[in-house]
Amino acid sequence: MKFTDIFVRRWVLATSVNLVILILGVRAWMGMTVREFPTMTNTVVTVSTSYPGAPPGIVQGFITSRLEQAVAQAPDIDYMSATSSESTSTLTVYMKLNADPNAAIAQIMAKVDQVRNQLPPAAQAPVITETVGDTLALMYLAFSSNTLSQQQINDYLLRVVQPKMQSLPGVSQAQILPPGTGSSGNSFALRAWLKPNRLAAYGLTPADVSAALANDNYISAIGRTKGRNIATVITATTSLSNINEFKQLIVKDVHGVPVRLQDVADVEMGAQNYNASVYSNGSPATFIGINITPDANALTVAHEAHVAFRQIKKAMPPGLHAIPAYDSSVYIKASINEVIHTLIITLGIVVIVVFLFLGAIRSLLIPLVAIPLSIIGAGIFMLAFGFSVNVITLLAVILAIGLVVDDAIIMLENIQRHLDEGHSRKEAAFMGARELAGPIIVMSSTLIAVFAPIGFMGGLTGSLFTEFAFTLVFAVLVSMIVALTLSPMMGSKILRKTPDHGLVHLLDAIFHFFRRQYDRSLQLALEIRWVVLLVAAAILVAIPFMVLGTMSELAPTEDQGIIFYSATGPATATLHYMSTYAKQVYKDAKSFPETASVFQVNGFSFVSPGQNTMVGGMLLSPWDQRTRSQMQIAPLFQQKLGQLAGVQAAAFNLPSIPGSSRGYPVQFVIKSTNGFADINKYADKLMGMANTSGKFLFVTKDLRYDSPQIVLNIHRSIASSIGLTPSDIGQDLEPLLGGNYINRFDMQGRSYKVIPQVPDALRADPDMIKYYYVRSSNGVMIPLSTVASLSTQVEPEFLPQFQQLNAVTLEGVPMPGVPMGQALDYLNAAAKKVLPAGYAVDYAGEARQYMQQGNTIWITFGLAIVLIFLLMAAQFESFRDPLIVMFTVPTSIFGAMTFLFLGLGTLNIYTEVGLITLIGLITKQGILIVEFANKVMEEEGLDRKAAVLKASNIRLRPILMTTAAMVMGVVPLLMAKGAGAVSRFDMGLMIGAGLTVGCLFSLYVVPVVYTFIASVKTREMHNSDPA
């Protein structure tokens, strides 16, 4: 008695087993979280160090380089980039994908601590921040007011909104913009706007003011007294807590008269800095961005954030207004809903296709039960392995519908054939299940062998498609169980002999006509089998050339409902300058009828922030309310941005997959140990070639030699003669120009910085420096111009480094229709022509992800083929028979690659995974023919030609049924619209085209190859028992 006989005889057992699968599966699907993509941990650690007043060269030499050398020793670093600008060193460390974020920040903090005492004394302590997950927030909420200042709004957000948002489950950080210190935004600071003339009149220097602020605003923690029975806390009024107290602070006694701070400075509550501004729909605003943890459910967090936001709005002070400025969960929800919609349509189409082949409701019930049961049952394993419901796993479920129906159809068709031959229902079920138990196990094992290597790939593709691969594996496993337990039992209960009238009879007559035509054409193919073999060989040879000639990219651009843009002004541009152009950009964005809203951040950039930069987003109306896609609108918007004369601006789309840093899609790095001037010279040549190549819509670079720098040349001999040292002069100028904060003061439970500095009006013109005074050793106030003179030179605004080397990064947006691979190939070829020895190239952002993928997918492709071959060899006990089946693979790949080669798609991670999926799908057809031909040859003693003719004729119907079900099942993917449609189309194109063409070829190629190399099977060989 065979294993399957148990379930045919004991229908209650078969029903109970499958009901357990159903119940547990339903519970599992209800328990899984909903996300956009599978969980991926992208960790970015930023080390920011402030050295007020220091030029970029000093910052690089004394801070950035030392920190780089130390941090580079930490494990699991993918790459590092750094910028050294005036007063600031920023080191950005990108950890390897899925590296432990807790270990990452602990290691980097330890490395920074090792060199902390090697940094200049005037440099502030490095601030280390960690971003885990997407660098762009899940959503941004905009707050604005006509009556409250930006700092008042910021303070309200800091005290009320930020704590509430950060307490929500799944929120990692709530960051306030415009940027300030950490995530606190540009909050209040006590500003002491110094008056150089008044200081000189009192014989005071800025250093005197700094010293007074440091000494008289001292935060003390004295402790407590402790007697035998009583302990008393002691506090001392060593600190200041309001503006009046600061105004009355005595800087120094001059001839017995106290000089107070208000006598030499205007004291007010101002902002930490005046280097950035935020606009929402053209009006000033303050944003708070909600970042989520990598394992959080984005839709749940977004829902909770909106609930909290509504509560906050009800309690806001009068005059404060708030709106959601950006919410990426809208796209996530739309994308998932589109996939679910496609899933339902696919299920309906597959059911209709199966019905048209079977023609009877009774027959339809078996696959109709098998499909949902297999999909629901897969959820048991998905939950056990920690998977989530996301667009990738749902895409796997769509493909699984066509896969899992195969086993049920094959079993159903075989039982029906025996029933039509005159056997009883139970006998037909016994015979049909016994014959197909082996092939079904082999086909299921083959599919598992195909998908398993994807799950163990590692890297971006492995992280992204592991859940995809194993979801299909789980669905196939459950499908196999259902096909071997429930389907035979249902066949023994509900199937009937095919009637000689009605729809079933009509469909059988039509199919018999096609079978006769196929039989004749197959006999002809076997007569000219060398010609068929040559055609198959030509297809095999053509595939590598088609792959090389097909455009490639990391992932297709998706319509996410938002177009980002970035702009850079001249190095001397101020915030006011950029705000003027921000208004023009806003007008350009609003000129498109598809624009729903616009947000802008001036003084900020994804790559190299500064007062002369700007970044923003143009949110589009919902997908069903517009006729043009994001990809169609972006080039038109770029045309408008290109007409702005005072800034370099570009529009770009966000990466459609997680893991890459934000910014332009192409980030091509030129690095060397040479000086920046030399690197910049070659970068200019390369950029010029790129701009004239026709492959780029926009190309720029991060290093620019256009920033005028004032050099204060100290006349050391003169300074020394009056008792002044360069150190004395520097200490006086730092408070005047640097904007360095001295300490903090407490106000209503929060600490704020104390910053002395001269006002903008006295820093606007370099000649104003003549009004600054220094004090000689005998107490006489000397104009600074006496001991120093000014000169001007052009230097970069900041000095970039990449992997500890001096570097220049070319950043660009490819032309519409030019994929990432083609753009990078051009830059690499041009770099080989331009760059001399001692230079190297590297990549950042999305371009780095693309290059890191390399040939990983093709290695996995080869591994899948080897595993399938060995698995089938073990099943067939032959190395010849699996080779016959493997001839189906090139034909299906040829069919899929033809459409990509013609430009209907690109080679990307979706189409590449689709190619691997094809291997398992197409080999199932070959297994059906070879397995049955071997059996016929063995049991009936036929030769190879007669055996394969009979096997092909009998297996034609299940092959066509399963292929039609799979191909028609991906039709909804080909017709997908809205959020996430492009990746679904690419996957559907590969499966649909590959299966269709592969099926037509394999119906002839497999029988032909079988006649050449199949092993001869006889009953004696089968029954022989070794001694």
Element of type H or E holding 322: strand 320-327
User: pLDDT of 960-984, one tens digit each?
Assistant: 887 888 888 888 888 878 787 888 8
The correct answer on CATH 1.20.1640.10 for the domain covering 3-36+332-548+855-1022 is yes
Residue 469 confidence (pLDDT) above 50: yes
The burial class, CB within 10 Å (0-12 / 13-18 / 19+), for 771 is middle
Mean pLDDT throughout 840-867? 84
Whole-Å CA distances, 323 to 66, 179, 183, 318, 625: 44, 19, 20, 15, 21
Mean pLDDT throughout 148-167? 90
pLDDT at 1018: 57
Mean pLDDT throughout 173-197? 79
Separation CA 371–CA 478 (nearest Å): 10
Q: What is the DSSP string of 22-64?
A: HHHHHHHHHHS-B-SS-----EEEEEEEE-TT--HHHHIIIII
Separation CA 888–CA 1000 (nearest Å): 10
pLDDT at 383: 92
Mean pLDDT throughout 86-101? 88
Q: The tokens 């900041």 sit on which residue?
A: 798
Q: Give the end-to-end CA distance of the chain in Å, rounded to a whole number.
A: 26
Evaluate whether 839 touches 672 at the Cβ level (below 8 Å).
yes
Evaluate whether 654 touches 556 at the Cβ level (below 8 Å).
no
Mean pLDDT throughout 693-718? 82
Query: Coil, strand, or helix at residue 688?
Result: helix
DSSP code at position 1014? P
- In degrees to the nearest 10, what's the CA dihedral of 98, 102, 103, 107? 120
β partners of residue 792: 710
Residue 506 confidence (pLDDT) above 80: no
Separation CA 931–CA 489 (nearest Å): 24
pLDDT at 183: 60
Between residues 738 and 541, the one the model is more confident about? 541
Separation CA 319–CA 1011 (nearest Å): 85
Residue 1019 confidence (pLDDT) above 60: no
- CA 71 distance to own-chain centroid: 25
Q: Which CATH class is domain 188-271+707-795?
A: alpha beta
Residue 461 confidence (pLDDT) above 90: no
Separation CA 1020–CA 940 (nearest Å): 12
The burial class, CB within 10 Å (0-12 / 13-18 / 19+), for 306 is middle
Mean pLDDT throughout 775-783? 81
pLDDT at 124: 86
Which CATH architecture is the domain 41-132 placed in? 2-Layer Sandwich (3.30)
Residue 186 confidence (pLDDT) above 80: no
Residue 37 confidence (pLDDT) above 60: yes
Residue 591 confidence (pLDDT) above 90: yes
User: pLDDT of 370-421, one tens digit each?
Assistant: 888 999 999 999 999 989 888 888 888 888 887 788 778 778 878 888 887 8
Residue 455 confidence (pLDDT) above 90: no
Q: The tokens 């919902």 sit on which residue?
A: 622
Give the pLDDT band of residue 176 (cuts 50, 70, 90). Answer: confident
Average pLDDT, the chain: 84
User: pLDDT of 187-230, one tens digit each?
Assistant: 788 888 888 888 888 888 888 888 888 887 655 555 555 555 56
Q: Which range among 633-637, 699-703, 905-909 has the greatest average pLDDT?
A: 633-637
DSSP code at position 736? I
Give the pLDDT band of residue 922 (cuts 50, 70, 90). Answer: confident
pLDDT at 231: 56
Q: Where are the domains of the chain?
A: 3-36+332-548+855-1022, 41-132, 188-271+707-795, 562-706+799-853
pLDDT at 235: 47
pLDDT at 689: 93
User: pLDDT of 602-618, one tens digit each?
Assistant: 888 766 667 888 999 99
β partners of residue 47: 91, 128
Length of the chain in residues, anyone?
1027
| Both structure tokens of 713 | 């040349």
Mean pLDDT throughout 302-327? 92
Say if 41-132 and 562-706+799-853 have the same CATH topology.
yes
pLDDT at 69: 93
Element of type H or E holding 965: helix 944-969
| Both structure tokens of 552 | 């490639």
The burial class, CB within 10 Å (0-12 / 13-18 / 19+), for 135 is middle
Q: Are strands 743-747 and 750-757 parallel, antiparallel or unpaired?
A: antiparallel
Name the percent of the chain lying above pLDDT 70. 92
pLDDT at 1: 46
Q: What is the DSSP string of 490-512?
A: HHHHH--PPPSSHHHHHHHHHHH
Q: Cite the beta strand spans of 821-876 per DSSP E.
A: 839-843
Separation CA 747–CA 242 (nearest Å): 7
Q: Which CATH class is domain 562-706+799-853?
A: alpha beta
Q: The tokens 């923690």 sit on which residue?
A: 221
Separation CA 716–CA 240 (nearest Å): 39
Query: Coil, strand, or helix at residue 253?
Result: strand
Mean pLDDT throughout 648-675? 84
DSSP code at position 64? I
Give the range among 513-517, 708-712, 925-929 with minimum mean pLDDT: 708-712
Separation CA 964–CA 230 (nearest Å): 89
Give the pLDDT band of residue 292 (cuts 50, 70, 90). Answer: confident
Residue 306 confidence (pLDDT) above 80: yes
Give the pLDDT band of residue 236 (cuts 50, 70, 90). Answer: very low
pLDDT at 879: 86
Cβ contacts of 1026 within 8 Å, gap of 6 or more: none
User: pLDDT of 70-86, one tens digit each?
Assistant: 999 999 999 999 999 87
Q: What is the DSSP string of 156-224?
A: HIIIIIHHHHHTSTTEEEEEEES--STTS-S-EEEEEEE-HHHHHHTT--HHHHHHHHHHHS-----EE
C-alpha atoms less than 13 angstroms from C-alpha of 561 in its C-beta half-sphere: 22
At 833, give phi and psi (nearest 5°).
-80, -35
The candidate with the shortest Cα–Cα distance to 526, out of 148, 80, 1012, is 1012
User: Hey, what amino acid is at 986?
Assistant: D
Mean pLDDT throughout 428-439? 82
Q: The tokens 């930023």 sit on which residue?
A: 46
Evaluate whether 398 touches 391 at the Cβ level (below 8 Å).
no
pLDDT at 59: 92
Between residues 542 and 1, the one the model is more confident about? 542
Tally of CB atoms within 10 A around 1018: 12
Mean pLDDT throughout 660-685? 88
Evaluate whether 619 touches 326 at the Cβ level (below 8 Å).
yes
Evaluate whether 419 touches 428 at the Cβ level (below 8 Å).
yes
Sign of CA dihedral 659, 663, 664, 667: negative
Mean pLDDT throughout 115-125? 88
Alpha helix positions (H), 722-760: 726-733
Residue 989 confidence (pLDDT) above 50: yes
Give the pLDDT band of residue 60 (cuts 50, 70, 90). Answer: very high
